[in-house]
A and B are shown apart, each in its own frame.
Chain A
Amino acid sequence: MRTRTSGVRCRLRLITLASLFGPGCLCAQEPTRIPARSPIVLFGKEVNVVVAAPRALAQVSDSLSVAHALETCPPAIRASFAAAYANEPTGVRGASRDDRVAFVLVPTPSSSSSCDASAHWNPALLARGVQIAVPNAFDVRSDVRTVEFSARGQVLPLDSSARRAVVAISESAAQTVDRPSQIATWISAKYLAPDAAGHLPEVTLHVATSDSSSPEIVRLEGEALRDVWHDLVVVRIEKLGSAPTPHAPMPLPLPRDNPLREAHALYSAGQVVAAARIAEQRLSTNELSGRDALAARMLIVGALLAYGDSSAARIVLTDVLADAPCLTLSGSQAVAERLIEAMRPPARCSLTPLRRILLASLVPGMGHAVIGNRSSAVFAAGLTGAGAVVAWSLARNGEQAYGRYLDARSTDEAMSAYGDASRSRRNARRALAAAATVWLVSGTTAVFTEQFHARSVARVHAYDIHPTVGLLPDVRGGEARISMSVTW
C-alpha cells in the first residue's frame, strides 16, 4: 500500500496533543499534509478536493502541521483549540480503523491572516468537525454542505453517523454549533468498490451553500479514489484480525526477501492477516525487488480473498496486473483466476516460436511485428526502408556523376566528377550499412525481446504452483551452511 505519510508515521504516533503546544522546536519541522488535487472553483472560491480514508486523516490530524499552523495564532486561540480538541471524543482517531471515505472541500490557503489560515481548513480537523476561526473570519453564511453524492449513476446515502457539530473556536472560547458538518462528507467504501474489471466509479458531489438553492457539481474520476483504496485495504486487513478464514488461502511461491519469507511462513500456516500486514509494511518501504513486490501483493490478495473481500483484492490485483499482466493461476484457483481474467489489461501473453521470429525478421521490422511490437516494427521497417532509399538515391547520384566523369574531356572536369561519384558511393554504402544494421538489430532485438517476454510470462504462469528454488544461509554450531528449498 502506498501511504504518502508513512515516512513520519511512527514519529507522529509519539506526539501527543500536549506536544502541539509544547516547545517551539516542533514548529520548525515540515508540516505533513494530505496532497490535494487540482483546485476547482466552487461558488466563486478556489477549493481543493481531498478524498481520504480516516487512517490518512488521523495521521494528518496528529501531524505537526497543526502546531506549525497555530504557531502564528494568538495564545488565546491556541488555548481554545487545545480545549476543543481535547473535548472532541469522536474524532477520526477513533475512526481510523473504519473503512469509510471522507470527501473534504478545502479552500486554498490564504496568508492574509497572521494566524495561518491553512489551519482553519486543515482537512483532518474539518473531518473531525473542528474548525478554528480567527476573530471576525468565521462567516456561517459561507458554509457549504454536501447535498447529494452519486456513483455509477446512483444516489448514495451519506453516512450520518460520522456527522458532527462544528466546533468554532474564537479568540475567547470554543463554541459548538449544532448544524451539519460543513464540507466533510462521509460515504461507506462499499459504494466505491471497483467493478469486475477493476475500474473505480466516477463520483459526483452536489454541493450547496447553506443559503443557496442551486447546488454545484464536483466530479471526481474513479482513479482519484485509488490512493484512498490503498489506505482502505490496510484498514480492512487490520479489521480482519484473527477471525477464521472462510476460504482456504491459495498457495503462493516463496519470495526472496527475508521478512517476506517469514510472512510466507505465516501465510502457509494459516495466519494470513499477519502475513498481509508484514507484506504491506514491506511494500511501503519501497525496498522490494519487482519479483518480491509481486509476491508481497499476492500475499495481500491471498489474505483478502481468503476472507472473501474481492473489492479490496481487486485494488491490489490492479497493481499486480500492471506489473505482470500475464499472471495466471492454476485450475485449482478457478475463482481467483476468473477474478484476474476479468481485470486483465490488454497484453500479449502468448509466445511466438523462435523460428517464426527468425523467418519474419528476414523482412525488416517483421520480427517485431509478429511479436506484437507494432511501433518497433514500424520504426525498424521505416528506418531500414529510409536507409535503403537514401542509399539508392545516393547510388544513383554516384552513377550520374560517374557518367559525367566518363564524358569529361578535361582533367579538372574528370577529377571533379570522379570525386562526386566516389563520395556518393561511399555515402550510399554507409546508408546501406546503416539500414542493414537496423535490419539486423531489429531482428536481434525481436528475438531477445520475445525471450525476455517468454521468461516474464513463464515467471507468472500458474503463479500459485510456481516452483521457487531458493538458497538460505544456515548457521548451526558455528558452521555456516547453505540449505536449498524448493517450494510449489
Chain B
Amino acid sequence: MVSLLRLVLLCVVVTACGEYAHTNPYDPATNISILIAGPDSAHSIHENLSFTFEVSRSWPGVVPQWLSGNDAIIGARGPGQFQVNGNGTADVLVAVGAHIGHHRVVVVQRAKQALFCYYAPCPTSLALGAAATLNVVQADSLGTVLLSAQAAAQVQYDVRPAGVLQIMTASPSSVQVKAIGTGRAYVVAALGTYMDSVAVTVQ
C-alpha cells in the first residue's frame, strides 16, 4: 500500500513539476548572487586592501576562491587580502563553484611627498652669486616614487631664513636657487602637510 502511494505520489510529482531546480554552485544555470565589499580605489603602491563578500546561499564543502583579475595591479595575498602592485584597473574576484563575483578597483598613485635629491646628492655649498638647481621627486603616501605617467602635484618652495638664497625658478620636479648673501639657509619643499628641506651654505 505504501509502495502504491509512493508510486502515485511520484507520478503526480513528475507530472506536476517542471524541470529540476538548478541548485548546484558548479552549474552555470544556478542563480547565485555574489556581492563583494571593499575599496574601489587605491593611491599607493604596496597598499594593502581588504575585501569581504556575501553570497546568496552557501553550500557545505564549497570554499570560495579569491582571485585577482590582474596580478600586475593587485596581487592576492590571502582570503580577502590584496596588495597594490601598480597603477591601473583590476578586478577582485570571488569564485563560488562555477560562479564568479567581480569588484573593480582603480589604482592611481597620488603624490603625498616631495623629496629633494632622491636620485643624487644635492649641492651643500654655493659661492656668492652662483646658482644651483635642486631636483625634487614626488612619492605616494607609502614612499614609492610616482610611476611614469602619473600626474605630479604642485610643490610649494620656500627659503629660510631669507637673504641667503633666492628662488629663481620652480617646478614640481626642481627648484633653482641663487646665492645672494653669505650664510646658511634651508630650501624647503612643501606638499600638503609633508615637507622636505636641504641646507645650503653660501661662502
Q: Identify the A interface with B (CB < 8 A).
A: 388, 391-392, 395-396, 398, 402, 405-406, 408-411, 413-415, 418, 421-422, 425, 428-429, 432-433
Contact = CB atoms under 8 A, between A and B. Distances in A.
B24 interface: yes
Contacts of B35: none
A391 B14 contact: yes
Contacts of A411: 26-28, 97-98
A413 B7 contact: no
B26 A392 contact: no
A398 B13 CA distance: 12
A194 to B, nearest CB: 53
B193 interface: no
Given A402-B20, A405-B20, A418-B20, A429 B26 contact: no
B23 interface: yes
Contacts of A414: 24, 26-27, 98
Contacts of B22: 418
Interface of B: 7, 10-11, 13-15, 17, 19-20, 22-24, 26-29, 61-62, 97-98
Contact of A428 (B14, B23, B28): B14
Contact of B24 (A388, A395, A408, A429): A408
Contact of A392 (B10, B28, B97): B10
5 interchain residue pairs of minimum CB distance:
A414-B26, A414-B24, A414-B27, A395-B14, A411-B98
Given A409-B61, A411-B98, A396 B19 contact: no
Contact of A422 (B13, B19, B97, B98): B19
Given A409-B61, A418-B27, A395 B11 contact: yes
B68 to A, nearest CB: 22
Contact of A429 (B15, B20, B28): B15
17 contacts: A388-B7, A391-B11, A392-B7, A395-B10, A402-B20, A405-B20, A405-B24, A406-B23, A406-B24, A411-B98, A413-B26, A414-B24, A418-B20, A418-B29, A425-B14, A429-B14, A432-B11
Contacts of B24: 405-406, 408, 414, 418
A229 to B, nearest CB: 57
Contacts of A398: 14, 20
A385 to B, nearest CB: 10
B18 to A, nearest CB: 9
Nearest to A404: B24
A425 B20 contact: yes
A484 to B, nearest CB: 54
B26 A408 contact: yes
A415 B14 contact: no
A425 to B, nearest CB: 6
Counting chain A CB atoms within 10 Å of each CB, which of B11, B17, B29, B61 scores highest?
Answer: B11
Contacts of A418: 20, 22, 24, 27, 29
B20 A396 contact: no
B20 A392 contact: no
B196 to A, nearest CB: 56
A46 to B, nearest CB: 63
B32 to A, nearest CB: 13
- Which of B24, B28, B29, B62 has the most chain A CB atoms closer than 10 A to its own CB? B24
Contacts of B14: 391, 395, 398, 425, 428-429, 432
Given A396-B10, A413-B26, A414-B26, A432 B61 contact: no
A396 B6 CA distance: 11
Nearest to B18: A425
A294 to B, nearest CB: 48
A406 B62 CA distance: 12
A405 B15 contact: no
A415 B15 contact: no
B138 to A, nearest CB: 48
Contacts of B19: 422, 425
A425 B16 CA distance: 11
B20 to A, nearest CB: 5
Contact of A432 (B15, B27, B97): B15
Contacts of B97: 411
A400 B24 CA distance: 15
B65 to A, nearest CB: 13
Contacts of B10: 392, 395-396
A409 B26 contact: yes
A413 B25 CA distance: 12
Nearest to B62: A409
Given A414-B98, A425-B19, 15 more contacts: A388-B7, A395-B10, A395-B11, A396-B10, A402-B20, A408-B26, A411-B28, A414-B27, A415-B28, A418-B20, A418-B29, A425-B14, A425-B17, A428-B14, A432-B14
A142 to B, nearest CB: 75
A406 B22 CA distance: 9
A11 to B, nearest CB: 69
Contacts of B15: 429, 432-433
Contacts of A396: 10
Q: Which of A405, A409, A413, A414 has the most CB of B within 10 A?
A: A414
A406 B24 CA distance: 6
Nearest to A406: B24
B164 to A, nearest CB: 74
Contacts of A433: 15
Contacts of B26: 408-411, 413-414
A429 B23 CA distance: 22
Nearest to A426: B19
Nearest to B23: A406
